[in-house]
Structure 1
Amino acid sequence: MEIEIVLAALFAFLAGFVDAVVGGGGLVQVPALFVIFPHFLVPQVIATNRFASVMGTSVAVWQYLRKVKIDFKAVIPAAVGAAGMSFLGAKASSIIDASILKPVILILMLGIVIYTYTQKQLGEISKIHPSFNRVYTYNFLVGAILGFYNGLIGPGTGSLLVFALVSVVGYNFLMASAKAKIINVVADVFSLIAFLMGGFVMFKVAIPMMVCNMAGSYLGSRMAILKGNAFVRKFFLIVILLLITRFAYDIFLK
């Protein structure tokens, strides 16, 4: 078991780095857990991943708060929507077969990568709608929809949040990534509560993973802040392409 825990911790470090830049850490961490611990149940994998990533995302939030000016009036409705719907999504994960949603998500991600690649100015500067009420509504809807997805499926939530905040609300990539971390950590906490209530977290694995995820998250957030919008945009496209590959494999080959 010890070598398996070391491997899981190494993947958690990489996942923390990726997630801190643009989201998508679950793309690294969740498949790794399935391979390293094939005897784990699906809820155990998701719960252990969630426990490890919550603190890592919190480290990224702390880093972004120090360097990026964040409008919390706009973030709060998204966080509220994400909190409630993520808890419901986690509860629904034992009822709904998430695999039926994967073809829809695959098509959505193909559209996202094409749109982001062709729209060269997307996310370069913030173009937020002047109406606060509209921004409030958009943020709430983004948080609620992706919060439910986060609780139900998980991988790719951070990247989808970044895209939604850039394309729907109008933030630049760096600002969207910073706000996505706050929304994501709130959603993760509430879905984690549901998993803890079910006794699914494998603490012997989750705790060392958490420490390594925090270290990776620290380095990733520092890199994103240092390199700025152009770096985050390129990293976003890479992560979305990897997500497309992952979902295509699950649908057509698995």
Structure 2
Amino acid sequence: MDQIEIRNLVPNFLNFYELANQPDHDETARWELWEGHYNFAAVPPGDQGQAMARQLLEDAWKEYGQHLSVIEKWSPDIEKVKAHLTKVKEVLGYDLPIQLVVIYFVGGFENNAFVAPFDEDRLALCLPIENGDSDITLVHELTHVVHARTAHLTAEWERTIASTILQEGLAAQLSKYVIPGKTDECYIESKKGWLQSCAKKKREIILGIIPFLTDSSSETVTKFTFGNGTTGHEREAYYAGWEIVHSLLEQGNTFEQIAHIKEEKIPKYLNQAIAGYLSQR
């Protein structure tokens, strides 16, 4: 039986917000309170991540007051997590128990959920709630959790770009399969207009990412996720994954087959998949 632990950081955020929301507190004071009373954000590890977290806080600060009632009224729904996890396991062909910690937090309105190591046996599924709950986001992130088991994936930030592409593409396309009926933007887009802009540079994005498929450095992972890739678009690994996994599914591959490609074989597998994709376009 799956074991799901809920950790709710929303009260921690509300405590921070009450302390920080004072007229005599400037940006520095807010940041110090954030570090002391909350200190949780969807950013890469290290100094660069802390700098990004501080910028997210400042960019989002004025919006928090407008969304405070939503944040205060929000409550976790473990039954929904269990139901979607069961479905994802079924589609990916995984029948062993999953041990999982679900961490709910208040982010910076950037809609950036993520999965990270929690302890030796468990992954943490980290879900922002300031924009409300999203079944699509939940299924996307649960796909990462189950995929980590089927393919023996590392859950660390540093992993090959090939693995990043396949993971994100599988999660986006599976969320579309499980929660159908929305526009493509709903499954992959974090900023309005991003998908259409990427589509105009489709071939350039795919060609530009090929030389980095085996690169697992933090700098390169950041470049193709948070950064501007090779064509000036954020999250180019997500777009490449969306396109390549869609192509694989069109060719008759199943979600289960794709999910069981072991991590050490993903760069070669993806290189072949990209070659097939480009030959058709």
TM-score (norm 2): 0.27
Larger Rg: 2
Higher relative contact order (CA 8 A, sep 6+): 1
Richer in strand (by share): 2
Higher helix share: 1
User: Please, what TM-score do these two structures have when normalized by structure 1?
Assistant: 0.29
